[in-house]
């Protein structure tokens, strides 16, 4: 028997409980597509760390918005390059904490927030906004696999060729990538579009796609609640959109390992701005809110939960 207790709310009408039974993705070959370093860990550390075989493919270096490194005395381009190199390292090294070998972690090194421009002009190299670079090889230096895009040209066609080569090598049964309708980040939208384009006509096809959302339309607080608690479904913004949830339960030990993985990510470590510190202090006093000890960044609260939530699709 399932008992529900309302707290500052009540149910209207007769409740309806929906049950979904899905194949266990942990028993299959999994490929996680991460637009930026840390997206794989935020969305799917629990899944990939328990999978029989996992590959982590990071599309961009995530080099922009490097103000933290400029505070160390670096010029704008130098700071962006430093941030990109560190995040490239994170994309290879942190997955080892989850048991994924270095040979199955790949950083493609394309430039942050430039995927839409690459998609619009597939043959045209699109350089970094801040790093003064038009060559991706600086951010590919930790890869162990040769790839078609190793000529350093930041083009959409190179990205597609890289993805096709990796899919044919890994032969994933499950592909985990951003959900195009829920996650509005432009690089996330283009990441899933690139995977679908790369899969078109390819001799290997995954059995299922699991979509995730590390960002949400008009709501940066979701999922609500505290770290180590459950995760709710996001608000419905399109009643015509078919969304079939896939929920993976994580043990407390797995949640703690995930929190430690996030703590290894350089981009989640810079201290909060003063304004946000003041706001949190007021929320703690006036509303009784509290935040996890593992880290100040909001993702330590949002991503470390009893479940990892995906949306299942077989429409490739």
Q: What kind and span of H or E run contains 275?
A: helix 274-287
pLDDT at 316: 58
pLDDT at 84: 99
Q: Can you tell me the mean pLDDT for 37-55?
A: 98
Q: What kind and span of H or E run contains 59?
A: strand 53-60
pLDDT at 282 over 90: no
The pLDDT tens digits of the residues spanning 156-200 come to 999 999 999 999 999 999 999 999 888 889 999 999 999 999 999
**Residue 303 corresponds to which tokens in the numbers above?**
């991503």
CA-CA distance, 42 to 82, in Å (whole number)?
Answer: 22
CA-CA distance, 315 to 313, in Å (whole number)?
Answer: 5
Q: CA-CA-CA-CA torsion for 316, 153, 124, 37, nearest 10 degrees?
A: 50
What are the backbone angles phi and psi of residue 180, rounded to the nearest 5°? -70, -25
pLDDT at 5 over 80: no
**Residue 164 corresponds to which tokens in the numbers above?**
């096709």
- Long-range pairs of 229-235 with CB within 8 A, sequence gap ≥ 24: 229/305, 229/306, 230/305, 230/306, 230/307, 231/305, 231/306, 231/307, 231/308, 231/309, 233/309, 234/182
CA-CA distance, 95 to 99, in Å (whole number)?
Answer: 7
Who wins on pLDDT, 17 or 30?
30
pLDDT at 152: 98
Q: Can you tell me the mean pLDDT for 221-238?
A: 86
What are the backbone angles phi and psi of residue 175, rounded to the nearest 5°? -110, 125
User: Which CATH superfamily hosts domain 26-313?
Assistant: LmbE-like (3.40.50.10320)
**Residue 291 corresponds to which tokens in the numbers above?**
């935040």
pLDDT at 313 over 90: no
CA-CA distance, 307 to 246, in Å (whole number)?
Answer: 10
pLDDT at 224: 87
Q: Can you tell me the mean pLDDT for 62-80?
A: 97
What are the backbone angles phi and psi of residue 113, rounded to the nearest 5°? 60, 20
Q: Can you tell me the mean pLDDT for 78-87?
A: 98
pLDDT at 275: 85
Q: CA-CA-CA-CA torsion for 274, 277, 282, 287, nearest 10 degrees?
A: 150
Average pLDDT, the chain: 93
Q: How confident is the model at residue 145 (pLDDT cuts 50, 70, 90)?
A: very high
pLDDT at 315: 66
């Amino acid at each position: 028997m399932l008992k529900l207790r309302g707290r500052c709310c009540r149910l209207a009408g007769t409740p309806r409980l929906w049950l979904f039974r899905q194949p266990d993705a942990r028993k299959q070959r999994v490929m996680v597509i991460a637009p930026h370093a840390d997206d794989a860990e935020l969305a799917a550390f629990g899944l990939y760390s328990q999978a029989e075989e996992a590959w982590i493919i990071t599309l961009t270096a995530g080099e922009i918005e490097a103000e933290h490194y400029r505070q160390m005395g670096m010029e704008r381009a130098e700071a962006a390059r430093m941030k990109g190199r560190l995040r490239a390292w994170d994309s290879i090294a942190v997955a080892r904490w989850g048991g994924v070998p270095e040979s199955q972690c790949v950083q493609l090194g394309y430039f942050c927030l430039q995927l839409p421009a690459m998609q619009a002009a597939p043959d045209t190299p699109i350089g970094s906004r801040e790093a003064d670079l038009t060559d991706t090889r600086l951010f590919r230096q930790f890869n162990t696999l040769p790839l078609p895009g190793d000529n350093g040209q930041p083009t959409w066609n190179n990205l597609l060729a890289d993805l096709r080569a990796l899919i044919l090598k890994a032969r994933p049964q499950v592909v985990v990538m951003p959900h195009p309708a829920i996650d509005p980040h432009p690089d996330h939208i283009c990441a899933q579009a690139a995977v679908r384009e790369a899969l078109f006509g390819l001799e290997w096809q995954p059995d299922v796609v699991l979509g995730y959302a590390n960002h949400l339309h008009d709501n940066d607080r979701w999922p609500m609640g505290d770290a180590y608690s459950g995760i709710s479904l996001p608000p419905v913004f399109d009643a015509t959109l078919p969304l079939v949830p896939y929920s993976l339960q994580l043990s407390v030990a797995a949640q703690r390992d995930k929190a430690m993985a996030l703590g290894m990510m350089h981009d989640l470590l810079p201290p909060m701005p003063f304004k946000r510190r003041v706001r949190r202090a007021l929320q703690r006093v006036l509303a009784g809110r509290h935040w996890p000890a593992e880290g100040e960044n909001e993702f330590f609260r949002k991503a470390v939960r009893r479940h990892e939530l995906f949306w299942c699709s077989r429409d490739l």
